[in-house]
Amino acid sequence: MSSQSTSYSSVSASEKPQPETSQGCGHVVIDIDSRATTMVNQDKRNATLTAAQKAYEINCTLTIPLQEYPKGYPLQAAFQSSESSWSIYRAFNYLHARVILDLQDEIRCLEEDLEEIDLESQGTNRLSSRKDDLEQAECSGEGPSPRAQLIDKIRMKLVNYDELLVKARELNAFQRPSKRDYKSFRTWFWNTKPLSYELEEQFIKRKEDLISLRHGREWSGFDGFIESCVRKMHCGFTQTLFATKELREKTDDKCIYYYSQSRIEKLVGLIITLIVFVLLVLPVVAMYKLTSIGDRNSTFDAVGIMVVFTLLFSAAMSLLTKAKRHELFAASAAYCAVLVVFISNFSNNDDIAIPRA
């Protein structure tokens, strides 16, 4: 069994130049960014290096392979953090619901207590004026107003309740791990067995309670299909073509494949571009052949071709991309409009054509 993933490409960030600033007093100004005095020693050191050595020092990166981490939680943490697809954790949805329900009932009890206090004060000014309520409570020896204390307690409970609801909604917006990512994670877990305590391994089996920290980028089934094809053709050439140097150094495990996300997306984009090009050119050529005949039946045949290719275009948009419904309708309508204009132009040209003598 093998584990697979599409990994993000590691790109070393170049240092951004600091803005030029200067400090001065009177007529003397010292440029902080000046390299006349601060870079003398560095220039002398760089003068002894060749261009190749300088390029190596600048582009050199450090990658810690997975096998160098101790077995246990360090190894598992290194594996899950090595690829966003494997950032899979439990959501604890049941516990969130229990805490929310418990706090909800606490607020309900406080609500009933407030209603009882209001009924006791019914017909007095203590309900119509907060000032009168505080003064009468102080004059009667009650101390702070019980109503004010209860409302303050309700306010704190409501703040906690609202925060829990907002956090729960944000948690529900997290993506669920895909079948491919979940299977890859389970396969690695089975092969490696990083944890020794069985109960601590149970979290991976709660599939319905797992969430992924993977960013919600455009990733359809077609992207996964292309990645699976690249994995099946795994060799030195595909490894060099679709994995960066840093990704190749992440592990020496022959069952783990790291691929650059950006490179896979470029391949997918190229294939989708070719498919769209074919769907645009083929119907135009076919309808041109039919409408050039000038027969009435040929026009109906051209309309049939337009309908078929519009359906194919809509299916391609739905399967190859993550287009929303309104985007799918708009793209299909625009595609159909282009073909309709093409048919109408050639039909009009045939109607006004003057026969030769």
Q: Domain residue spans in the chain?
A: 81-91+176-259, 93-172, 276-349
Looking at per-residue confidence, does 48 or 185 come out higher? 185
Looking at per-residue confidence, does 135 or 225 come out higher? 225
The average confidence (pLDDT) of the chain is: 77
Q: What backbone phi and psi angles, to 5 degrees, belong to 3?
A: -115, 145
Residue 125, pLDDT > 80, answer no
Q: Where residue 302 falls among pLDDT bands split at 50, 70, 90?
A: confident
| pLDDT tens readout for residues 189-207 | 888 888 888 888 889 899 9
Q: Which residues contact 226 (CB under 8 A, 6 or more apart)?
A: 264, 267, 268, 271
Say how far apart CA 155 and CA 255 lie, in whole Å: 55
Residue 43, pLDDT > 80, answer no
- pLDDT computed for residue 353 by the predictor: 46
- pLDDT computed for residue 175 by the predictor: 87
Residue 54, pLDDT > 70, answer yes
How many C-alpha atoms does 295 have within 13 Å on its Cβ side?
Answer: 9
Residue 326, pLDDT > 50, answer yes
Average pLDDT, integer, range 110-134: 75
Residue 95, pLDDT > 70, answer yes
Residues 317/323, Cβ–Cβ less than 8 Å = yes
Say how far apart CA 172 and CA 211 lie, in whole Å: 9
Say how far apart CA 334 and CA 339 lie, in whole Å: 9
Residue 21, pLDDT > 50, answer no
Q: Where residue 139 falls among pLDDT bands split at 50, 70, 90?
A: low
- pLDDT computed for residue 9 by the predictor: 39
Total residues belonging to the chain:
357
Q: Where residue 102 falls among pLDDT bands split at 50, 70, 90?
A: very high
Output the six-digit token pair for 237: 């050439």
Task: Of 67-76, 90-99, 345-354, give the lowest mean pLDDT range.
Answer: 345-354
Looking at per-residue confidence, does 177 or 161 come out higher? 161
- pLDDT computed for residue 244 by the predictor: 81
- pLDDT computed for residue 91 by the predictor: 92
- The residues with which 29 forms a beta bridge, in sequence order, are 24
- Per-residue b/e over 75-94, b at no fewer than 16 CB within 10 Å? bbebbbebbbbbbbeebeee
Residue 106, pLDDT > 90, answer yes
Residue 167, pLDDT > 90, answer yes
- pLDDT computed for residue 90 by the predictor: 93
| pLDDT tens readout for residues 56-80 | 778 777 888 888 888 889 999 999 8
- pLDDT computed for residue 220 by the predictor: 61
Output the six-digit token pair for 31: 């440029």
Average pLDDT, integer, range 327-346: 84
- pLDDT computed for residue 280 by the predictor: 87
Looking at per-residue confidence, does 343 or 109 come out higher? 109
Looking at per-residue confidence, does 104 or 262 come out higher? 104
Task: Of 36-40, 103-107, 325-329, give the lowest mean pLDDT range.
Answer: 36-40
- pLDDT computed for residue 89 by the predictor: 93
